[in-house]
Every structure is written in C-alpha cells, then in structure tokens.
Chain A
Amino acid sequence: MSDATSSGPMLAADGTPLKTSLARSLRMRKLRALMLIAPLLLFVLITFIAPILQMLLRSVENQIVSDTLPETVVALEQWDATTGDIPGEFAFEAIYLDLAIAVEQKLHTRLGSRLNYEETGMASLFRKSGRRIGRFDTDVYTDQFTDLNAAWEDPETWYEIFGDERNVAELPLVGRSWQRWAALFEAEGETVGKRDLEDFLFAALHYETRQDRYITSENPLLLQAMRAQSETPFETSRLIPQFEDADEDWLDHAVWQTIKTYSPRYTSGYFLNAIDMEKSPEGAVAKPENLQIYIKLFWRTLFMSLVITGSCILLGYPVAWILANLPSRSANLLLILVLLPFWTSLLVRTSAWKVMLQDQGVINNVLVWIGLVAENDRLALINNQTGTIIAMTHILLPFMILPLYSVMKTISPSYLRAAKSLGATNWTAFWRVYFPQSVPGIGAGSILVFILAIGYYITPEIVGGTSGIFISNRIAYHISSSLNWGLAAALGAILLVLVLGLYWCYDKIVGIDNVKLGG
C-alpha cells in the first residue's frame, strides 16, 4: 500500500489528482475568458460569418428548377439529350402540369429569369407560355370525365381520393398535382370545396388513367375511368402543337437541354460561369472567346492591387519616416494632414481626381501651359488603369502610412547612431539596421492596402473607364442590375479564396508574426 501511495499521482489538498485539479482550474479560466469574448464572438458569427456562408451557399443553390418543375425534372430523366431530338409528348405533359401550377404561384417568370442567365430567350418563353397555358384546350378532358361521372366535378371527390396517400403513390402525376394545387389555396386559408377544379387536373387524371393497368385501389370512380378509357379511348388534346403555338422555342433542343442541365438542386454552373466556362452535355467547356471576361478581370484586379500596394509603399515609406523622426509638435500637424482625407467623402475625393486628371483638367492644363505637352496631345490620365492607380493610391495611402509610422516610432535612433559609429555608411546603416526593423510595418500596411484594394469598386467605376475596372464592378453589376446573385456569389467566393490563398502565401514567405500594427 505504501508503495502505491509514493508512486501514485500527486494529490491536491482535496484529494483529487493534482493534474486533474490543474486542468479543471485552467478550464474554468478558459471558460471565463470565453464568456468575456462571447458577446463579440456571437456578434461576429451572426453579422459576419453567417451572411458570408449564406452568400457562398447561393453560388451553388439551384432548387428553383426542381421546385418549380418537379414533374418535368422527373420526366426528363428518361430523355437522352445527346440524340439531338427534343423529348416527346410525355415531357410536354409534365411541363404543362408544372407550368399550370407555377402560373398560379406566379413563379414561372422567376424561373424564366433564372434560366435566361444560361440560355437567352427563356425569360420570354416562360412569360409568354404562362399567359397562354390557361387557354390550352385541355378542357376536353374535363368534359369527358364529368360526362362519365358527374362526381368528378365535385372537389370533395378529389379530396377523398387524393387525400389518401396510397392513391397518390399509385397515381403520382395526378395525385401530386392535386396536392400542390390544393396546398396553394390552403395556404391562403381557403377550404378545399371553394375553388373550381381546373382543366390541368383532369388532364393529369387522364395521363394516369388512360392505360388500363392493375391498381390496388378499389375506388369505383377510378376503376370506372380506367375501364371506360380502355373501351373507348378519350379524345385527346396534343400538347406539342399547342406549346409550339405559344412559342416555337419549345421545339428548340437547347431549351430542353438547359432545363435538364440545370435540374439538380445544386449546380456548379455559377462557378463555371465565373471562370469563363459553361456546362454542356459533354461536361464543362470553355466559353467562346468573345464571352470570356472574368479570368481576365481577376488577374487585372490582383495585378492592379499589387501595383497600388507597391506605389503606396514607395510614397508612404518616406512620409512615415519623416513623421517618426520629426519633433512631436510638427509630427502631429503632419499626421493631421495624413488623416484629413479620412474626413472627406470617398466620392468627393474620387470626383476631385476627375477634375484633376481629365483631358481638360488641372494637370493637363498646367503641363500644356508650361509647354511639356502639346495642346493636341494631352496625356490620358483618366478612364484607364492610370486613373484607377493614381486615385486608389491616394485613397489608400493613409492605411500604409499609419502602420509604418507606428512601427518606426518604436525603432530607437540609437541603433542607427551605433551602426554609423561602427563605420557604416548612411545607406548601409539604413538598409542593414533600420529597414529590417521597419519590415513588420510594411507587412501590416501592405496587407491592409492590398485587401482593401481588391474589393474596391466605386473608385474604379468612376475613374477606371473600361481598362481600369475590377472584378468587384462585375459583382456589383450582378447584384444590382442583372440580379444574377448566384454568379455574384460565385465570383465573390473565388475572390475570397484568392485573398485567403495570398494571405497563406504571405504567411509562408514573410511570416504573419512579422506583421505589426504598432508598438
């Protein structure tokens, strides 16, 4: 026993092993620390992380097709798109039922806009067909069923038959159509018996009962309908000519191809679009040359942000050095000048650059006046990359100067003096002693400037013309004008990954410990 005690774990005063006791108290401390940051953490999670995740999700979401056209999606599974023929009557029957319900829900035009991003003409195809679909002559089915048995006219009959899931399982097309239709006005608080049954429901009933087959249901109405049709087939209403009449695009292979390609609930289509590719039956292929733009813009955005960061370093470093080495009174005055732009609206600053840089602007006028530039050969300083680089360098300069300044402030001047007293030239003393100590400031400033630059869009929009715009201008366009939020989200996600990737590279090469915002 005494052996066991001496070699056993060391015990705390209350008899628990010291290790456990220590771990517990550490855990308590961590928990308390966590509780202190909990409000901020929650705030960041709710207002920052969650919206970003939700946005990223939009770039792959595609439920609208299978939610609006569920029967069509199922029907098209049997269709081989590669044959080059449009699908047969069965697909038109499915899309007729889907569209009839979508029109009631006013969702068909929304689907049309969604698919129009992929195939031009889909928007008006769905809009036009939506107007026509109520006038299709499918009332022949309504008449024939009600002639056969007047009970079909009564919504209660339908409620009885298709309220029963077993019947829905056996006659899914009509069962599901009726359920979706009934759900529509149940949502509005109406009772089932109130609304007249619509023609498309009878069409669906016909599609399911036209073949005499064995069903377990013993419902006399269903059995009667099937028997009657096997004896004398009903007069039918062919849908293909009616769809063609509504819009001849329905006979276009590309329309059906697009619906089939975009029927899965999640799609890589937006991401492919964002890198100038598109989906085709043969998989992802590059878009035609004259439609490629995004890769070019991504590279341009990265390249120009790097140039802007570089020019900020070049301009900011000497300013920060002067600020750090002046007596504090004059340094403070200078610092206010650096901060001044922060108190002016971004738009005002950018517009001021317009006045400065344009052809008849201040800079060109002065250059012409002193004779450096010929009157008819004025410099193109705006509406191109030069304009964007100049204006953005100016706007982002404080973000470089401030971290540099706060780092340089902490570098003791005695190091430089020591270097010089040991025989170093001014340049060597600066390059070997001072500069390495200021690198953390450059790092912090560069990250700030670069990341801010990569997401700018107002300034490039105003002074960038066509060659000076960034990828963010296209993102803004898709958010506010084309409403293609999926593509905007995909572009945004790629941009986010690019920035994180660069950050990782930076960490590997320079080391993130080497970044200081001050002290």
Chain B
Amino acid sequence: MKKTALLATSAIVVASMATAGGHMASEMTLVSWGGAYQKSQDRAYAQPYAEMNDGFSYNWDESSAEAVAKLRAMNEAGNITWDLVDVVAADAIRLCDEGLAMEIDADEMLAAAPDGTSASDDFGDLLVSDCFIPQIVYSTTFGYRTDLVGDTAPSDICAVFDLEAYPGKRSLEKRPINNMEWALLCDGVAKKDVYDVLETEEGQDQALAKLDTIKDSVVWWSAGADTPQLLADGEVVMGSTYNGRLFSAIEEQSQPIGMLWDAQVFDLDGWIIPAGLPEDRLARALDFAKFATDTQRLADQAKYISYGPARASSAPLVGDHADLGIAMAPHMPTDPNNAKNTFLYNYEFWADYRDDIDAKFQAWLAQ
C-alpha cells in the first residue's frame, strides 16, 4: 500500500511534466475481484487504455470483496490509495450512503452512445445509485449436474426445493439475499408480491420455513468458486452461483453441468470513484472510467466473459469469445431465451432489510 502511494506521488511529478496541461496522474490503482473477471477487464479496457496513453501505468488490487470495509478504513486514516473500485451495486449504494464514494453525473462524466443517446438514457434503470457507474449485468442462477439429475433435467427453480424428484445436496449462498425470494416463489407467492411478503415478519418466517425443508441437504457457500467446484466433485446435484462461473465450468472445463436459468436474479457490477481523491488522480480516474464504460469497451468485455454489458447500445455489438470462438450472445443472462423468468435484485429493499433479515437468517442457520 505504502509503495503504491509512494509510486503515485512520484508519478504525479512525472505526470505533470509529461502530459502538459493534462494534469492527470500517470499511475492508477484499479480494484477488482481477481480471476477471469479481472482478466476480462484488463484485456477489454485497461490494456487498450494503457496503449493509448504513453507513460501511463496501472496496477490491480484484488480487494473488491473487502472494498467497503477497506475504503472506510482508508477514509478514516485519511489516505486513499485506490483510484477506481469495482463493486457490486449493493456495495456501491452502501459506499454512497456512507459518503465514501463520489457522486457521478452520468451525462457529464460518461461517454454518450455512438448514436448520440445520452449516457443516462443508455444505462437507463441500471444507474441504481448516484455514485455507481454500471459495467456488467450478471446473474445468480443455478447449475446442475447433467449426469446426476436422472432423465428429466430441471427446468423450474422449484426443483431446488424438490428433494423427491432430485435427491442429493444443493449448494446455496450463505446469506438471505436471493434464497428468501426463491423460497417464497416456490411456496406459492406470486412473483410480484415477493417483496411485499418479505417485508413482514410472517413472510420472513414463511421463507425460512420453506428453506427449512431442504436445510439438511444444503451446503452453504460464501465464495463464488465453491459451487462450480462442488458440482465438479459431485458433492452437490445443483447449486447457485454467478452465471460466468458456470459458463467457464461448462465451456472452458467441459464439466457435465447444465444451466437452470429459471428465476435467475440479475445484479449489477460497476465502478465507483472513492470520495476525496486529489485532483490529478481524480482526473485520471474519470478519464479512465469514461473510456472503460463506453459502448465499444463494454461490448468488448463480453468477448472474455459471459456477463452482459450494462449499456443498451453495447448489446448488438457482442460477438464471439476471444479464445473459444463460440458466440457469446446465447450465454448472456440477458439473452431472451435465458431471461424468460427473471428477478432484478431489489436494492432498495435489501439496503433496508439486509441487517434485520440477515440476523434472522444467521440465527436460523445456527439452530
């Protein structure tokens, strides 16, 4: 961390000499999740950006999972060493609420679509927080072992709760978000009523009671890589995880896994800029963010990973996988064939109820 800061300060001096009038730091620290996702960002945005800008260099910090806590600690210590941080939308909302992320004026700071549509229209509803620059749409959905589910492959989310038709273990994330919605959906609650029901004590108890029916057959995961591994080992017959993880298990590692897209939950991932950056670093971060979230760059990212671009204008540009050469569009969570029945993560609801329902959920787990 110290080294980065030191490099950054020395870089400032160099930058102010190199880019006359630009006043942009020549070095930046990008924070992301590591793995295939970070690699897709590196190839789609960071490398092209570095090629365009002489004397610019960047480094990655794989800390997105702890970004909220670390940013708060940095803010309290008064030494922010990150320039651009990749977080899920729920974390962006939290960071914005805590005053740790900078507010973004989409039309002013982000690129317009090639046809002139303004950035705020191009991103549309995906601008879920004042501080959030959306990047990709991913989904949390189920994969199942094609060789362990018998003759009829599951096509309905409620297969997860059906121990008779599909005996064996399932893996679910060790938190209430998504699980509570699926449980209610399979307990006869209409999709449009799910959050109204979940707001009430009875609704929360109802969801936990439904989860209770499969509790003994659940392996709880906390890292996105767990479910693909558990599926590959034959430990579970089906499990939830991020669709990109399942894509790489299926297409890159040729595991006998099928996708169950039903009732997938869309979520967003994107950038935030930490509040309180010095001017030159802020200028660089804004410049990079504008480039990295333009229409072409977001479409490019889909060459490397099966997450949908957050801009409407990027969708038609999605092509083939850069290494495997297969068409990426059918693997996108947003593809019409996959998106017949979907949820959108309810940010407002979970921002309010997360603490309360999580306490209940964890107490239920510990019983």
A binds B: yes
Interface residue B183 (Cβ < 8 Å from any Cβ of A): no
Q: Chain B residues with Cβ under 8 A from A297's Cβ?
A: 366
Q: For the complex, what is the distance from the CA of A356 to the CA of B219, rounded to whole Å?
A: 16
Answer whether A467 and B97 are a contact pair too, CB < 8 Å, given A120-B352, A124-B348. Answer: no
Answer whether A110 and B363 are a contact pair too, CB < 8 Å, given A123-B351, A482-B355, A484-B355. Answer: no
Asked if B352 and A110 sit within 8 Å, CB to CB, the answer is no
A301-318 interface code vs B (CB 8 A; 1 in, 0 out): 000000000000000000
Interface residue A116 (Cβ < 8 Å from any Cβ of B): yes
Q: How far is the CB of A64 from chain B (nearest CB, A)?
A: 11
Interface residue A107 (Cβ < 8 Å from any Cβ of B): yes
Question: Which B residue's beta carbon lies closest to that of A273?
Answer: B359
Q: Which of A296, A466, A479 has the most CB of B within 10 A?
A: A466
Q: Chain B residues with Cβ under 8 A from A465's Cβ?
A: 219-220
Question: Which A residue's beta carbon lies closest to that of B236?
Answer: A359
Q: How far is the CB of A470 from chain B (nearest CB, A)?
A: 11
B329-367 interface code vs A (CB 8 A; 1 in, 0 out): 000000000000000000010011111101110111110
Question: Count of A residues near B, CB < 8 Å?
Answer: 37
Select the stretch in B66-74, B119-127, B264-272, B303-311 that faces chain A. B66-74
A37-79 interface code vs B (CB 8 A; 1 in, 0 out): 0000000000000000000000000000000000000000000
Q: How far is the CB of B258 from chain A (nearest CB, A)?
A: 19
Interface residue B151 (Cβ < 8 Å from any Cβ of A): no
Answer whether A109 and B353 are a contact pair too, CB < 8 Å, given A290-B360, A360-B235. Answer: no
Asked if B219 and A106 sit within 8 Å, CB to CB, the answer is no
Question: Which B residue's beta carbon lies closest to that of A121?
Answer: B352
Q: How far is the CB of A225 from chain B (nearest CB, A)?
A: 36
Q: How far is the CB of B327 from chain A (nearest CB, A)?
A: 34
Which residue in A113, A293, A467 is a CB contact (below 8 Å) of B98? A113
Which residue in A124, A290, A481, A485 is a CB contact (below 8 Å) of B351? A124
Q: Chain B residues with Cβ under 8 A from A358's Cβ?
A: 233, 235
Q: Chain A residues with Cβ under 8 A from B235's Cβ?
A: 358-360
Q: How far is the CB of A458 from chain B (nearest CB, A)?
A: 11
Asked if B98 and A481 sit within 8 Å, CB to CB, the answer is no
Q: For the complex, what is the distance from the CA of A113 to the CA of B94, rounded to whole Å?
A: 8
List the 6 closest pairs (A to B, CB-CB), nearest first: A109-B97, A120-B356, A293-B363, A480-B69, A466-B365, A106-B99
B residues bordering A, Cβ < 8 Å?
Answer: 65-66, 68-69, 72, 94, 96-99, 169, 174, 205, 219-220, 222, 233-235, 348, 351-356, 358-360, 362-366
27 cross-chain CB contacts under 8 A? A110-B98, A113-B98, A120-B356, A123-B97, A124-B348, A124-B351, A124-B352, A290-B363, A291-B360, A358-B233, A358-B235, A360-B234, A383-B220, A461-B222, A465-B220, A466-B174, A466-B220, A466-B366, A467-B366, A469-B366, A480-B68, A480-B69, A482-B355, A483-B68, A483-B94, A483-B98, A484-B355
